[in-house]
Structure 1
Amino acid sequence: MARSAALAWWAATACWFLGTLAGRLTGSHTEITGAVPLPVAVLVFALCAGLWALLVYGAYRGLKGARVVLAVAGGLAIVGLVAQLVGDVVTRNLVHGGLFLAALVLAGAGFTLMFRDR
């Protein structure tokens, strides 16, 4: 996997983490995430972002099967980001939506660069 693809995925992960945290702080969260205390939510968000970053690192280093898992999970993540953006457009949440839009663009770039011929 190309270095630029890994960097795009890691940048998308950072945007997702910041967008999710901003959404939690600005009050645009679901009933489930609203019921969780803020320190626990931040820990869970950081854990998810860290696991995603490890998956990208595994694909970057050529770990067998990591690229396929990243492709499937990345495709699902892109669909989830689009769904979140639709909600942000409806509620006019610019901070959350802007960071998730950046994450969507970077994830799309990472996905595309991951399968580009070298």
Structure 2
Amino acid sequence: MIEAADIREWRTHQVIDPGGHKIGVLEAIYVDTSTDEPAMATVQVGLPTRHRLVFVPLDGAIVGPGYVKVSYDKSLVKDCPAIGTDDVLPATDEEAVFQHYGLAYQSGTAGERQLARR
């Protein structure tokens, strides 16, 4: 289990796929609003002049010294719906991120978001 107290230390860690390929730099952690457990991370990818943030689930993630290894291949992560580096994921687009990875999406009973940034 990943400890939520440690997530602030992950910022700027390299994010790598199961094969050890660098995906990008960890920008932020998003928690599941129903459990307050880390659920997804945003990863800064792209060229130095054209960065964007993509989402990657943290299920099965391993944290090491200076890196976070995720369970998803680099090509799948880079094809995920993205936001600008200064943008916020619109609530209406949240479900598309989950669908991209084949994960179930469930908003709150009153339509609350499933993800919250930490």
Q: Which category describes the TM-score, using the shorter chain as reference length?
A: under 0.3
Structure whose residues are more often strand by fraction: 2
Scaled by the length of structure 2, the TM-score of the pair is 0.27
Higher relative CO (Cα under 8 Å, sequence separation at least 6) belongs to: 1
Q: By percentage of residues, which structure has more helix?
A: 1
Tell which structure's C-alpha radius of gyration is larger.
Answer: 1
